[in-house]
Amino acid sequence: DQQVKQNSPSLSVQEGRISILNCDYTNSMFDYFLWYKKYPAEGPTFLISISSIKDKNEDGRFTVFLNKSAKHLSLHIVPSQPGDSAVYFCAASSYSAGGTSYGKLTFGQGTILTVHP
């Protein structure tokens, strides 16, 4: 049972335009969300995060939006650059649940972003 889902396997955008990557979750206990970026032959690297008490977090060209009622979050990249081409993973954690959930991240399947020059 996939608790975190990224329904778009791939996304292609033109350089300079906006990239929007989407993520849905089913577990209402999730209270912290992260986005990771992964280049080929490398491990994922942390990009940006958001707590469930917020609905938006911005860091330079990257903004994450959280809609708790819809159990949906999205990552916006503006403007997109060719160097942003990578696999993007959405991840979620249920910090407040404690127990074996403490410290654990549940990842989605990833979305391959290609930014064309």
Partner 1 sequence: DAGVIQSPRHEVTEMGQEVTLRCKPISGHDYLFWYRQTMMRGLELLIYFNNNVPIDDSGMPEDRFSAKMPNASFSTLKIQPSEPRDSAVYFCASSRDPSSSYEQYFGPGTRLTVT
> At 20, which helix (H) or strand (E)?
strand 19-25
Nearer to partner 1, 74 or 106 (CB): 106
Residues 4-23 that bind partner 1 (CB under 8 A): 6
The strand pairing partners of 86, in sequence order, are: 113
Hey, is 78 helix, strand or coil? coil
1 binds partner 1 (CB under 8 A): no
**Contact between 7 and 21 (Cβ < 8 Å):** no
Site string for partner 1, 95-114 (x = CB under 8 A): x----x-xxxxxxxxx----
Residues 20-79 that bind partner 1 (CB under 8 A): 32, 34, 36, 41-46, 49
In angstroms, give the least distance from the CB of 49 to partner 1.
6
Cα gap 83→57, rounded to integer Å: 22
